[in-house]
Every structure is written in structure tokens, then in C-alpha cells.
Structure 1
Amino acid sequence: MDWTEKYRPTTLSEVRGNDKARDEFAEWGRSWDDHRKAVILHGSPGIGKTSAAHALANDMGWKTVELNASDKRTGDVIERFAGRAAMNATLAGSSEKTGDESADRRRNRQLVILDEADNIHGNYDRGGASAITRLVKESEQPIVLIANEFYEMSRGLRNACEDIEFRDVSARSIVPVLRDICRRESLEYDSDALQHIAEANGGDLRGAVNDLQAAAEGKEKVTVEDVVTGSRDQSMDIFAFLDAVLKEQSPQEALQSSYAVDETPDDLTKWIEGNVTKVYEGEELARAYEFLANADRWLGRVRASQNYSYWRYAGDNLAAGVAASRDGTKGGWTRFGRPQFWPSSDKTADYVARKIAERSGVSMDTARRDVIPFLAAMTHHCKPRELTVAMAAAYDLEESHVSFVTGSGETTNKVESIVEDARALREEQMKEHSGSAFEGAVRSDDADDDEEPPTSTVEDAAVAANGGETADADAADDEDDGQSGLDDFF
């Protein structure tokens, strides 16, 4: 049996590593009759958000209705299943009354849990996001939305809910959980082995439990050697991954590497597709493209069904399949490039390069060659969010432009919310005309053409760092200076 399920907390007091969030969540449940608002639990995968929701229901004596990512979550389905539960003020068991109307009402609550609420988008989930927003506003029952990325959700939905952030679980909090599992399983262990598992998982409690179970398979004691040889490498760089798949590793090794790199199968497919022609040719290339086509079919099934278990089959094809297409290993160094994620990327790239060139006083060639790749690395997948908002405001970017630079996949609620915040930031800067990082990039349409926009505090810092010269002056002296387009961004 999966130990993450076997040892799932049954009460909030057993939830480890997020005491503040746990207490806030408990208070939300106890006071629900007073505020009657839904709550969003958000944070990294594997840190106990869903377990906390079920534990709260158990503590409160509530039944649960759960709709997860593997379900078909169209607007109709949400309204039919979760909606029906959420609207029912009287539920099964309500005939058993205690005489205390308030107590009866609390006892007959039903907790509606919507897992991976930030993944409701795309054609198959059409209407799902708006249905959830209506649901949380009208519900007669408590609702918990589980999300990894808070800003992937629409602004309207976020504003309609309370939110509680669950942070990554520290190694200090993970070790006692692993120790308790070992005790229950009558499993001996080296203390250093448990410490290594906790540190290697970087805040992911569920991953740590999975690693402990894998290390303990068929053994009476878990040693450091078991853990070190069996632990997962979680920090593989994307370019090292491309080398592994396209040039060096066996199919089995390449598949393991795909688990270690911090990218989704969707993005990994694009990275390989965009670089495979730099290494493969002839029959090798034809075979690789066939596996990539298979991977794309499985990814299509994920998008259609929201069943993320299909990702494993996409990973088999994009990693093991492409590696198996190779005749032996490849030597030498290859200059891998960032893939063009969008069909309209040429037009989009031109727009972004032009905006950067106009804003920073560099050539479009410099913007394309030096500035855009730098911004892409700094704002990969819209992280950190504040920096991405600042970038969008500085260069007046729309959703497709932000998606192009950050490589976030198709336009999502996260990207839309970033652009909304960037517009608000620009409007605020136009009113204030001082004190904001990118104020120099914003000018009112009614501004006098001869009036120079005020210099922002960030630009002042950039000028000082350049010895008193502006970015435009630098560009005039050396148009191909690779950093000239970035001075006033920072």
C-alpha cells in the first residue's frame, strides 16, 4: 500500500510543517457560519494541502465531496456534482436532530473539495472556471479549492475566496514524520538516512515519504547507502537534460533524467523538438519525430481529459523513445536554444524586440540576441511574479508577449492576471510620475511631446552603475553591448 495514503493525517493536529496555515484553516472551518466564504489553499505540490482539507472535514464531522483533476470538470459537471452538494442546505442524516438547530446545521455540513483548481482551463474544461466562481459566491456549504499556483486562477475567483498559503515543509519537520513511519513499519534506520531524504526533497513531504518507501522496499533497515544510491536528482538543468537524451544516455537513463528536470512533459517535448535537428539527422531524426508525435498524442489526451496520469506515457516517448532513436552516443558541444513555444512566435518576437529596442535605446538585433534570452531566464514560467509584472509594465506587453518571453505554455489565468497588474502599475506610474521602478516607460497620451518623462529610481541606479552615463548613451557608444538593453530594466 502507498505509504502516503496509509499515513495520511486524519486530524489537523497531525499535519506537519505548516502550523500557522493549519491554525488559520482550522479557524476558517470553525467560523464558516459567520463568514460563509470559500477558501483557497495554495502552495507547492506534496506539502499537505489536500490532506489538510480531509483532516479538517474529519475534525468537524463533515462529509466530503471531492472533484479532482482526473475528473471531467466542465461547467455542467461542476454544477451537477459539486454544485448540487454546495447548494444543499439539508443533507443526508439531517433527519437525526438533536434539538439544537445550529448544532444540527453544523453537523450536517458537507465540505466540497476541488483539487488542482488552478488547472481548470482549455477546451475540455470550458465553462469550468466561471462555474466555480458562481459556485463559491452562492454556496450553502463550505468549499476548499486546492491550487499549486494561486495566480493561475482568475482574479474574480481569487477575490471571492479567502486564501491560505502552505509553505514548503522544512527538513526539520519532515524527519519526525519519516521517523514515525519507520516506527509503525517496524523498520530500523540510520538517522543520517532520514535526514538525507528530508533534505533531498526540498520541502516536498509526499516525495520524502515516497522515497522512504522506495528505499525500504525488501529491507529491514534503511541505511545512508540505500538512500544516496536510490534518491532522485531534483536539480537537473534543462540543457543537461537535452545532452542526456539527445547525445549520451540510454533510454532507461534518459527516462530517469526526465523525472529529475523541473519541466512538464509538455514543455520538455517542445525543448526536444526545437533542438533535435541540431544533433540527429536521417533515419535517427525520422525515428525521433515519430516518438515525439506519440508524445504529443498523449499530451492531447491529458488536455482533453485532465487525466495527468497520461503524462507518464508522454514522458516515455519524449525521453526514452527519442534516446532509443539515436545510433550510439554523440560527442562534442552543441549550442541548444530555447524553443519557439508559439505558432505566432516570429511576429510576437519582433514586437517584443521592438518594444525593448525603443525602451532601452538598443538595436532590435541586440534585443533579440541578448536581452530577450536574459529576460526569459529571469522570468521563466512567470517566476518571480513581481519581476514578471515589472517587465510587462516596462515594455507594455500583452498576454501573448508575456507568454512568449516566459515560456509559460498557452495563455493562462496567471499570464492574464500578470498583464492586468502590469496595466494597473503603468496607470499608477502615469499618475505619480515618480518613485516607481518603471515610471520612465509610461507616458500619458496627452503628455507634451517635448516633455521628457521622469527618470525612475531603477533607472537612476542603472545610470550610477554606468558611471553617470545613460543606457541610451551606452547604446550609442557600443550598440552591440550585450547588457545595454538591460540597464534600465534593473
Structure 2
Amino acid sequence: MSDWTETYRPTTLSEVRGNNKARDQLEEWAKTWDDHRKAVIVHGSPGIGKTSAAHALANDMGWPVMELNASDDRQADVIKRVAGEASKSGTLTGGSGGRRLVILDEADNFHGNADYGGSREVTRVVKSAGQPIVLVANEFYDMSQSLRKFCETIEFRDVSARSIVPVLRDICRREGIEFEEDALRTIAEATSGDLRSAVNDLQAVADGASRLTVDDVVTSERDTTEGIFDFLDALIKEKDAHGALLAAYDVDETPDDLLNWVEDNVPKDYSGGELADAYEFMSNADRWLGRVRATQDYSFWRYATDNIAAGVAASRREPKGGWTRYGPPSYWSKLGRTRGKRDRRDAIAQRIADREGASVATVRQEILPFLSAMTHLCRNRDLTVAMTAAYDLDEKEVSFITGSGADTNKVESVVADAAERRAQETVEHSGSAFFDAPDSDETDSSEKDESTTTETASLEDTFDDAPSSGATSSADGDESADSSADSTDEATDEDGSAEETDDDGQSGLSDFF
């Protein structure tokens, strides 16, 4: 049996159900693409027809499709080769007007080791694309901020049960299956807005049957999760403490992330005493989360959730109404802005840790601050050069530690001197690896000649200085001794091989300096 979700996939935008406004926005984006030349992000819950709408759009516009989805390799080189080439301008493989549609499915999942560099490359492709691009995502805020700002956005909402029922009815008629209207309505209501799941449930129930009744529909309740914005609305405006706690269990967020969401959005509706009480409960939650991090005992999570959900809801003192624009935590955007700096810091710390035999955490907390203080603005230039040579740092890394500009002459000269120093140390520690050893016969011969010459000169000096007579007086002996001492002092002063030293027993210290 074929998959009904593929068999009955909409072929035109007019067949897309439940998102008429989003469908019209997508069509308008395609028709005016030559005016704005921007990519579009289509986001919403799984199974509501985002990818189907993109393919239907391509059919309506007469554009061939180039698709990259979750089953493909997501590394930067693959993105560049597939999506990058497909997005270039050209008419050989293009459809109407020389256009083709590039679809990047699950665009919110470009992260992790397998997707190294993928998100950055997608952003580059989007900025320079010569063809229309549709990025399909389930979680809009899981995408990088730099990518989001270069695209238009269209939100697809969950499909209502009354929009799902006509789709199921049409499938039953095409398959020749009789049905009870209540049976279709039961399936539609059980899928919580997921049209794809509703079609799959219908196929599972109707398999081998000629008539579908309510009794035949035995679909179990789905394990659904509540969206974070719906939860915030319920927590801050609607639910009591018990209801807010139950709603928190249905949100697919850890208590750490939940605390960040609530902390940033509560002040938009709470004020005065109720805001103070809410922050008191959130501070208690933060203490429990700190205990989790310290002990790795995740059973404490429930106490944090109690304070985040029940405590904040109990802090409400008056009814809240109207619509509030909630947003993602500012802490996340701060992390996004500082990600480049943190990556550079960690790369430097890892290199120092490998050399010094320390942990990366120790280097970050103890060693890097000292290096930064001692080499601030490269003022201690010799130390900065030594540090750069020891850890093989480049201009940006030296700039990061010292606080100097990466493109200044000072930093560039430091890096150049460090490279020269490393090369010199390599030669010094290489022994005779870079030089030819002298011939042993020649060495022995030269040493022998030099030794002979020295000995001859010594003998000649001895005979020249010897007295003419063997008998000497004591006075002559004293005079000779004084003359010998003076001669020795003069020789010492002339060749500079010895210095006058004080008789304090400390003359050996000069060997250490």
C-alpha cells in the first residue's frame, strides 16, 4: 500500500488546507521575488504542510526544485556544493523565467559536529543567492539570528480540526471507503493540528476496511507538547498555581531554559509587588538548579519547576488580559553575539592546556587572566613575543589576550618576531641535523697543527725569558717576582679574560646572571 501522505500531497497552493493567509503570503513572495530577492523562512509545527506548500508553489510557478533535507549530509562543503550551485543564476536548468526553487528542509537543525559550518554556509548562500530559496523550519528561534535577519518569515499555524476533516473526507471518497462523519472528526481532533498525522491515522484505521465507523477509530491519545508561547500566556495570565505546574510538564524545555524564558517575559505583564514575588520564586528556582549542577542529582529539577511555574502563577494578584508580544531570552542573544569570542578563547585555552598539562577550565580561569594582565597592550614586548612563540598564536589570538588591535603594526611585528624566534629555537635544538659534520681526518689534522704551533711558541717564550746565568741574588729574585706579577696583571688586563674580584666569597654568583 502506498503512503497516502505522498499520494495525496497537494500539487498546487490552492489545495493547501488550513493556512490560507500563509499560503497567500508565500505566493506573493514568489511573484515579487525579482523585486526583493530575499529568501523566505517557512516555520511552524511538524506535519502542517510547510514542505508540501513549498513544492506546490514550485508547481504553480513552473520552477524545478532542488531540495536538501535532513537525510543529506549537512556539512558546509555539501551546503556549498548543492545549495550554493543551485542558487546561482542560470537558465540551462531553470524553469519559468530561468528560475528554480531551492528548498532547505529542517533548516533549524544545522548544528552539531555533523553540521560543522553548515549554518554559516547557509547564511552565506542566502545572502548571495541568485535563485529563490525556501527554508523550512519547525523551531524558528533555533535558527541563528544572522540567518533570520536576511530572510522574510512566514508562519504556518496548526491546522484546525474543521480544516482537517474535509481532507480526510476527500481521501475516503478517492479510496472508495464509506465513512461516518463523526469518525473523521474524532481522528481530526485527536491529532492536535497535525494534518500529516491525521492522514496516517486514517490510513491505519481504514486499512482493509470498506466502511469506517466511530467504533473503528481506536487512536490513542498522542504525546503532544505545548508551545512555549502558549505556556507563557497560560502561566502569566490564565492558570492558577496547579494549572501552571501541569502546563509546565507539557513544555519541551529543561528547567534552565524555562527559567530564562519566564525571567525575560514576566516583567511585560507583572509589576510592583507581584513582580517582586515572582522574582523571589525564580531566585529559589535558580538555587535548586545550582544544586543540580553541583551534585548532578536531577531529582532536584522538580523543585525548580515548582518555583518557576506554580510560584510565578501564585504571584499574580490581578487578572491579566490582552495580547503580549513574548520573545526569546535576551541571554541567548548575548551568547550568540559573543560566540566568536568564546570560541577563540576556548581554542587558545585548549592549546595552552595541551602544552602545560593543565585542564582547559584551569587555563581559562587562572592562566589566561595572568597572561592578559602581563602582556596588556603588548607593553612588555619581550614577554609578549615569548608567549606568542611558545603557544604559536596568530594576530587575532594575540589581540584577544593583550587587548590590542589585531591589524596594528605592533601585533604584526610581535607575531613576526615570534615566528623568527621559533625558527631559531628549532635550529638550536636540532643538534647537527641542519649542518654537515666536518671530515674527521681534516679535524684531527688541523687540531694537531694548532697544538704543535702552540707548543713551539711556548718553548720559544720560555727560552727567551730565561736568565743568562743560573746564580741570582735574592734582590734579583724579588725583582723578578715583582716583574712576573706585573707581567701577569698586564696580560690579564689586555686579553680581558679575568677580572679583579673582591674577597667576599660571592664571585661565583656571576655565573647565574
Normalised by the length of structure 1, the TM-score is 0.50
**1:360 and 2:280 are equivalent in the alignment:** yes
**1:234 and 2:166 are equivalent in the alignment:** no
| SS of residue in 1 equivalent to 2:113 | coil
**1:24 and 2:25 are equivalent in the alignment:** yes
Specify the alignment match of 1:163 in structure 2: 153
**1:51-79: per-residue Cα shift (whole Å, max 9, x none)?**
00000000000000000011111111000
- Partners of 1:49 and 1:135 lie apart in 2 by 21
2:197 pairs with 207, 221, 228, which one? 207
Q: CA deviation at 1:226?
A: 1.2
Any residues of structure 2 matched to 1:214-229 within 5 Å, and which? 214-227=204-217, 229=218
**1:374 and 2:306 are equivalent in the alignment:** yes
8 Å contact 2:165–2:185 — kept in the other structure? yes
| SS of residue in 1 equivalent to 2:103 | strand
**1:56 and 2:57 are equivalent in the alignment:** yes
Code of the aligned partner of 2:219? G
Code of the aligned partner of 2:280? S
**1:189-235: per-residue Cα shift (whole Å, max 9, x none)?**
110000001111111000100000001011111111111x2344335
| SS of residue in 2 equivalent to 1:121 | coil
Any residues of structure 2 matched to 1:380-459 within 5 Å, and which? 389=328, 398=331, 416=335
**1:108 and 2:98 are equivalent in the alignment:** yes
8 Å contact 2:284–2:304 — kept in the other structure? no
8 Å contact 2:27–2:57 — kept in the other structure? yes
Code of the aligned partner of 2:114? Y
**1:100-139: per-residue Cα shift (whole Å, max 9, x none)?**
xxxxx84321100000000110111011001011111100
* Shift in alpha-carbon separation, 1:185–1:359, aligned structure 2, 3 A: closer
* Shift in alpha-carbon separation, 1:236–1:152, aligned structure 2, 3 A: closer
**1:197 and 2:187 are equivalent in the alignment:** yes
Query: What percentage of residue pairs aligned between the two structures are identical?
Result: 57
**1:428-484: per-residue Cα shift (whole Å, max 9, x none)?**
xxxxxxxxxxxxxxxxxxxxxxxxxxxxxxxxxxxxxxxxxxxxxxxxxxxxxxxxx
8 Å contact 1:169–1:205 — kept in the other structure? yes
Any residues of structure 2 matched to 1:125-144 within 5 Å, and which? 125-144=115-134
1:124 pairs with 92, 114, 127, which one? 114
Q: Which runs of 5+ in 1 are unaligned?
A: 94-104, 238-260, 268-337, 342-355, 400-412, 421-490
**1:15 and 2:16 are equivalent in the alignment:** yes
**Larger RCO (CA under 8 A, 6+ residues apart):** 1
1:180 pairs with 157, 161, 170, which one? 170
Code of the aligned partner of 1:233? R
Max Rg structure: 2
Q: CA deviation at 1:386?
A: 6.6
8 Å contact 1:112–1:142 — kept in the other structure? yes
Q: Once superposed, which parts of structure 1, at least 4 consecutive aligned residues long, lie more than 4 Å away?
A: 261-264, 338-341, 356-359, 361-367, 375-379, 384-389, 415-420
Q: CA deviation at 1:33?
A: 1.0
- Partners of 2:150 and 2:191 lie apart in 1 by 34
Q: CA deviation at 1:360?
A: 3.2
- Partners of 1:138 and 1:232 lie apart in 2 by 46
Code of the aligned partner of 2:305? P
* Shift in alpha-carbon separation, 1:378–1:163, aligned structure 2, 3 A: farther
* Shift in alpha-carbon separation, 1:161–1:385, aligned structure 2, 3 A: farther
* Shift in alpha-carbon separation, 1:366–1:147, aligned structure 2, 3 A: closer
Code of the aligned partner of 2:222? D
**1:368-426: per-residue Cα shift (whole Å, max 9, x none)?**
278732365589xxxx997675xx56xxxx55xxxxxxxxxxxxx8x956999xxxxxx
Q: CA deviation at 1:262?
A: 6.8
* Shift in alpha-carbon separation, 1:23–1:180, aligned structure 2, 3 A: same
- Partners of 1:143 and 1:17 lie apart in 2 by 23
* Shift in alpha-carbon separation, 1:15–1:366, aligned structure 2, 3 A: closer
Normalised by the length of structure 2, the TM-score is 0.48
Q: CA deviation at 1:90?
A: 2.7
8 Å contact 1:189–1:223 — kept in the other structure? yes
Code of the aligned partner of 2:61? M
**1:311-361: per-residue Cα shift (whole Å, max 9, x none)?**
xxxxxxxxxxxxxxxxxxxxxxxxxxx8999xxxxxxxxxxxxxx999639
Specify the alignment match of 1:477 in structure 2: none
- Partners of 1:363 and 1:67 lie apart in 2 by 44
8 Å contact 1:114–1:145 — kept in the other structure? yes
- Partners of 2:142 and 2:122 lie apart in 1 by 14
